[in-house]
Structure 1
Amino acid sequence: MTDQDAGQARLSPRQIITAMSGLVIAMLLAQLDNMIVAPALPTIVGELGGMDHLAWVTTGYVLASTVATPIWGKLGDIFGHRRTFMASIVVFLAGSALCGVSQDMTGLIGFRAFQGLGAGGLMVGIMAAIGLMVPPRERGKYQGIMMAVMPLAMIGGPLLGGFITDNASWRWAFYVNLPLGLLSLVVCWFTLKLPRRERTAKVRIDWWGSAVLTAWITALVLMLSWGGSQYQWNSPEIIGLGAVAAVGLVLFLFIERRAAEPVIPLRLFSSRNFSLANALGFIVGFAMFGGITFLPQFQQYVQGQSATSSGLLLMPMMIAAMVVSLGGGLVVSRTGRYRALPIIGSALMATGLFLFSTMGLATPAWQSGVYMAVLGAGMGCMMQTTNLIAQNSVHIRDIGAATGTTTFARNMGGSLGISVLGSIYAGRLSDAMGGGGLHQSGQITPAALQSLPQAVRDLFKTAVTDGIQSVFFWASLVAAAGFVLALFIRHVPLRGHAPSPATAAEQTAEELAV
Structure 2
Amino acid sequence: MSIASLADIQGGIGAGFDDGGWISTSYLIAEIVVIPLSGWLAQVFSIRLYLLTNAFLFLVFSAACALAQDLPQMIVLRAVQGFTGGVLIPMAFTLIITLLPKAKQPIGLALFAISATFAPAIGPTIGGYLTENFGWEYIFYVNVVPGAIMIGMLYVSLEPSPMKLSLLREGDWPGIVTMAIGLAALQTVLEEGNKDDWFGSPFIVRLAVIAAVGLTLFVAIELISKKPLLNLRLLGRRNFGFGVLANLLLGVALYGSVYILPVYLSRIQGYNSEQIGEVLAWTGFPQLLLIPLVPQLIKRIDPRIVIGVGFALFAGSNFMNIYMTNDYAADQLFWPNVIRAFGQALCFAPLSAVTTAGVEPENAGSASALFNMTRNLGGAIGIAALQTLLTKREQYHSNVLMQSVSMFEQATRTRLEQLTQYFMNHGVIDRVDAMHRAYVAVGRVVQKQAFILAFSDTFYTLGVALLVALLAGLFLRKPDRLDAGGAH
TM-score bracket relative to the smaller structure: 0.7 to 0.9
User: Does 2:108 match 1:121?
Assistant: no
Q: Is the 8 A contact 2:48 2:160 kept in 1?
A: yes
| Residue among 329, 342, 357 paired with 1:377 | 342
Question: Residue 350 of structure 1 aligns to which amino acid in structure 2?
Answer: A
| Residue among 387, 406, 414 paired with 2:352 | 387
| Residue among 204, 207, 219 paired with 2:173 | 207
| Residue among 293, 298, 314 paired with 1:349 | 314
Q: 5 Å matches for 1:143-222?
A: 143-144=109-110, 157-193=123-159, 204-222=170-188
User: In structure 1, how many angstroms separate the alpha carbons of the residues matched to 2:339 and 2:21?
Assistant: 24
User: Does 2:53 match 1:87?
Assistant: yes
- Post-superposition offset of 1:46: 5.4
More divergent stretch after superposition (106-115 vs 142-151):
142-151
Aligned-pair identity in percent equals 25
- Post-superposition offset of 1:414: 1.2
Report the secondary structure of 1:233's partner residue: helix
Alpha-carbon distance change, 203 to 183 in structure 1, aligned in 2, over 3 angstroms: farther
More divergent stretch after superposition (462-471 vs 175-184):
462-471
| Residue among 473, 478, 486 paired with 1:486 | 473
- Post-superposition offset of 1:422: 3.1
Question: Residue 387 of structure 2 aligns to which amino acid in structure 1?
Answer: G
Question: Residue 191 of structure 1 aligns to which amino acid in structure 2?
Answer: S
Gapped runs of 5+ residues in structure 2? 400-437
| Residue among 395, 398, 409 paired with 2:374 | 409
Q: Is the 8 A contact 1:52 1:426 kept in 2?
A: no
- Post-superposition offset of 1:249: 1.9
User: Does 2:124 match 1:140?
Assistant: no
Question: Residue 475 of structure 1 aligns to which amino acid in structure 2?
Answer: L
Instruction: Name the larger-Rg structure.
Output: 2
Q: Which has the higher contact order (CA 8 A, sep 6+)?
A: 1
User: In structure 1, how many angstroms separate the alpha carbons of the residues matched to 2:344 and 2:117?
Assistant: 15
Question: Residue 313 of structure 2 aligns to which amino acid in structure 1?
Answer: L
- Post-superposition offset of 1:383: 2.0
User: In structure 1, how many angstroms separate the alpha carbons of the residues matched to 2:64 and 2:11?
Assistant: 20
Offset from partner CA, 1:164-210 (integer Å, 9 cap, x none): 21122101111222333233223311233389999998862223212
Offset from partner CA, 1:454-473 (integer Å, 9 cap, x none): 94986785575355334333
- Post-superposition offset of 1:270: 2.9
Offset from partner CA, 1:204-237 (integer Å, 9 cap, x none): 2223212211222232233344446414536544
- Post-superposition offset of 1:78: 4.7
User: In structure 2, how many angstroms separate the alpha carbons of the residues matched to 1:221 and 1:142?
Assistant: 30
More divergent stretch after superposition (247-256 vs 229-238):
229-238
- Post-superposition offset of 1:103: 3.9
Q: Is the 8 A contact 1:97 1:175 kept in 2?
A: yes
Question: Residue 474 of structure 1 aligns to which amino acid in structure 2?
Answer: T
Question: Residue 169 of structure 1 aligns to which amino acid in structure 2?
Answer: G
Hey, what does 1:270 align to over in structure 2?
A: 236
Q: Is the 8 A contact 2:314 2:466 kept in 1?
A: yes
User: In structure 2, how many angstroms separate the alpha carbons of the residues matched to 1:45 and 1:376?
Assistant: 30
Offset from partner CA, 1:39-76 (integer Å, 9 cap, x none): 42343345545444676544443332222112112322
- Post-superposition offset of 1:153: 5.8
Q: Is the 8 A contact 2:28 2:187 kept in 1?
A: no
Q: Is the 8 A contact 1:212 1:248 kept in 2?
A: yes
Question: Residue 134 of structure 2 aligns to which amino acid in structure 1?
Answer: A
Q: Is the 8 A contact 1:336 1:494 kept in 2?
A: no
User: In structure 2, how many angstroms separate the alpha carbons of the residues matched to 1:150 and 1:213?
Assistant: 23
Report the secondary structure of 2:196's partner residue: coil
Q: 5 Å matches for 1:468-479?
A: 468-479=455-466
Offset from partner CA, 1:108-158 (integer Å, 9 cap, x none): 444333222122211112122222232344322344566789999678754
Q: Normalized against structure 1, the TM-score is what?
A: 0.75
- Post-superposition offset of 1:432: 9.4
Q: Is the 8 A contact 2:262 2:276 kept in 1?
A: yes
Hey, what does 1:223 align to over in structure 2?
A: 189
Report the secondary structure of 1:473's partner residue: helix
User: Does 2:325 match 1:338?
Assistant: no
Gapped runs of 5+ residues in structure 1? 1-33, 435-452, 504-514
User: In structure 1, how many angstroms separate the alpha carbons of the residues matched to 2:103 and 2:332?
Assistant: 38
Alpha-carbon distance change, 145 to 415 in structure 1, aligned in 2, over 3 angstroms: closer
Q: Is the 8 A contact 1:63 1:415 kept in 2?
A: no
More divergent stretch after superposition (41-50 vs 206-215):
41-50
User: In structure 1, how many angstroms separate the alpha carbons of the residues matched to 2:237 and 2:304?
Assistant: 16
**How many residue pairs end up in the alignment?**
446
Alpha-carbon distance change, 150 to 199 in structure 1, aligned in 2, over 3 angstroms: closer
Alpha-carbon distance change, 296 to 206 in structure 1, aligned in 2, over 3 angstroms: same
| Residue among 236, 243, 247 paired with 2:213 | 247
Q: Is the 8 A contact 1:320 1:373 kept in 2?
A: yes
- Post-superposition offset of 1:93: 2.0
Question: Residue 247 of structure 1 aligns to which amino acid in structure 2?
Answer: V
User: In structure 2, how many angstroms separate the alpha carbons of the residues matched to 1:180 and 1:290?
Assistant: 26
Question: Residue 345 of structure 2 aligns to which amino acid in structure 1?
Answer: G
Q: Normalized against structure 2, the TM-score is what?
A: 0.78
User: In structure 1, how many angstroms separate the alpha carbons of the residues matched to 2:390 and 2:304?
Assistant: 35
User: In structure 2, how many angstroms separate the alpha carbons of the residues matched to 1:224 and 1:155?
Assistant: 22
User: In structure 1, how many angstroms separate the alpha carbons of the residues matched to 2:284 and 2:225?
Assistant: 41
Report the secondary structure of 2:68's partner residue: coil
Hey, what does 1:11 align to over in structure 2?
A: none
